[in-house]
Amino acid sequence: MKHHIENFRRWLKLLNFAESTIYSNPRYIKNFTDYLEATGIKTIQDIENRHIKEYYEYLKVRPNKRRPGALSPNSIISNINAIKRFTKYLRETEQTHITINIKPERIRPEISILSTEEIQILYKVCGSDILGIRDRAMLSIYYGCGLRRTEGIQLNTEDIIFNKSMIFIKKTKTGRQRYVPMSEPVKNDLTNYINNARIHLIKNKSETGLFIGMKGKRMGGTGIIARLKILLKKAEIQEEKIISTGLHTLRHSIATHLLNSGMNLENVSRFLGHRSLESTQIYTHINKY
């Protein structure tokens, strides 16, 4: 079944899925096909819906390979979603007619949120030097625009459409492109960064990445998170909160703040790029700040 996995990877790439999905989903499917082969299923055509249901039950009790204990509910959901995409790929290439009717149990996740006051302090502690200007632009992308971690990393300067006050997101978690509006403060922060900081960071004019590191190349998630942690410490945020805060915390925070300010669920969902309101509803259960 090895060639099916590689073809599945190409299919995901062709449909413009996020890099994280292109990387993780084939790995999930490799685990799934290894399980099938161990139970005697040798070809794609032999797979039946009951085999997927049995695999779902197996995932519930399978030990976690990276740490003690079982798989988290989110990991199980990610595995099943990957199999759903895989069977869709198989149906579209006429290799099977399987339709998955499994709906994994969703457990409401613990969501870390920064208050509006804490967000304001983060902006205030950004320096006026090159790195400080970049820090402020990062906050504007991840908080002001609510982008996912990978969406921000993959941004190019050409994706910032200043004359329309929009940011074009080419690759998303759902595989669908979207436009995100820029407020005037976000627009000002990005203009300042591109004109007065990024220009001093790039070493090669052909570099298209928006966020540039000290080596003159596109920054990765680790570097951006490290800068966020520095800001959190400067802002004297509680240590426990610093540990649990990541780039997605900024996305969670803007969603919560928009809902608390009166924006309706449908508009917040559209702003975040969610496929369904169900994904956005988790923010309605968070205490107001």
Measure Cα distances from 12 to 7, 63, 89, 173 in Å.
9, 28, 9, 11
Nearest to 82 by CA among 94, 74, 92, 72: 74
Report yes or no: 218 and 82 within 8 Å, Cβ to Cβ: no
CB burial of 18-45 (b: ≥16 within 10 Å; e: otherwise) equals: beebbebbbebbebbbebbeeeebeebe
- Output the CA angle 148-261-179, nearest 5 degrees: 35
Structure tokens at 183: 């407020």
Strands 178-181 and 160-161: unpaired
Catalytic residues: 148, 173, 248, 251, 274, 283
Mention every residue, 6+ apart, whose C-beta is less than 8 A from residue 138: 152, 211, 224, 227, 228
Nearest to 135 by CA among 203, 212, 208, 205: 212
